[in-house]
C-alpha cells in the first residue's frame, strides 16, 4: 500500500507547455518581434535542452534563463536584448498558470490516501506562485524546489535532501509520479521508490515501465501496488 506520494509539478499537474507558448508569444509581440508557431516550437526545444543540461549540472539556472533567449535571438535575428526578454518572460510566467483537467480531484483523492510532497526543478518564485494561484499548494505537506534545496533534481544531493526531509520516509510505501525520464524517473530510482510515468499522449517507444495517460489510471496502478 502506498501512503506517501512524490509528485512533479510542470506537465504533471500544471500545463507548462501551454503556458510557455502563450507567454513567450505575448512577450515577443510586446517587443515587436516575430511571434508564431515556428519560433514557439524552436524556443521549446531550446528550453527543454537547457533544462536537461541543468539536470546534468552543466549549466546554472541563472545562466539558463538568459541563454535560452540568446540562442533564440541568434537563430531568428531578434532585435531585443536577451536579458530584457528573459526578465519579461519570467514575470509573464508568474502571472498565469493552468491546472490540467482532473488534477485537483486527483490531488484530493491522493490526500485521502496519505501524504503528498512536491518535487520540482522549476524557478522558485514562479513555481510557488503557480501552486498558490491554482490552489494546489495546500495539498502538499512539503515542497522540494531544487532552487531552494540548492541542488538539481535528480542529483544524488537533491535525492538525499528529499529522503531526509520526509518524516518517517519508507521507500516501499512511496510512489513517485512525473513526466520526465531524465529527471523524475532517475530521481525515483535513486530514492528506491516505485515510479509511474505520466504522459497523456502515451509512453515513448523506449519506455517499458508503467505509463499513465490520465489520473484515473495512476490511481488504478497505485491500487495494485
Cα separations in angstroms, 39 against 63, 73, 79, 185: 21, 10, 14, 30
> With 0-12 CB in 10 A as exposed, 13-18 as middle and 19+ as buried, what is 108?
exposed
Q: What residues act catalytically?
A: 8
Compute the distance between CA of residue 173 and CA of residue 3 in angstroms, rounded to an integer: 6
**How does DSSP assign 169-215, residue by residue?**
--GGGEEEEES-TTTHHHHHHHHT-EEEEE-TT---TT--S-EESSH
Cα–Cα dist 70/159, whole Å:
32
Amino acid at each position: 500500500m502506498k501512503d506517501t506520494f512524490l509528485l512533479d509539478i510542470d506537465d504533471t499537474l500544471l500545463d507548462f507547455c501551454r503556458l510557455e507558448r502563450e507567454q513567450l508569444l505575448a512577450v515577443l509581440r510586446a517587443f515587436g518581434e516575430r511571434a508564431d508557431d515556428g519560433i514557439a516550437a524552436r524556443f521549446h526545444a531550446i528550453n527543454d535542452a537547457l533544462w536537461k543540461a541543468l539536470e546534468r549540472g552543466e549549466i546554472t539556472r541563472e545562466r539558463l534563463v538568459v541563454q535560452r533567449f540568446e540562442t533564440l535571438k541568434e537563430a531568428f535575428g531578434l532585435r531585443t536584448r536577451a536579458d530584457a526578454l528573459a526578465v519579461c518572460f519570467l514575470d509573464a510566467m508568474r502571472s498565469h498558470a493552468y491546472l490540467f483537467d482532473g488534477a485537483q480531484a486527483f490531488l484530493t483523492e491522493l490526500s485521502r490516501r496519505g501524504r503528498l510532497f512536491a518535487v520540482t526543478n522549476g524557478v522558485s518564485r514562479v513555481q510557488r506562485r503557480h501552486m498558490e494561484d491554482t490552489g494546489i499548494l495546500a495539498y502538499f505537506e512539503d515542497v522540494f524546489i531544487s532552487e531552494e534545496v540548492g541542488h538539481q533534481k535528480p542529483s544524488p544531493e537533491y535525492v538525499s535532501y528529499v529522503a531526509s526531509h520526509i518524516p518517517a520516509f519508507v521507500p516501499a510505501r512511496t510512489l513517485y509520479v512525473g513526466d520526465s525520464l531524465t529527471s523524475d524517473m532517475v530521481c525515483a530510482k535513486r530514492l528506491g521508490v516505485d515510479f509511474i510515468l505520466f504522459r497523456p499522449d502515451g509512453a515513448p517507444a523506449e519506455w517499458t515501465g508503467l505509463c499513465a495517460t490520465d489520473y484515473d489510471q495512476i490511481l488504478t496502478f497505485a491500487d495494485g501496488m
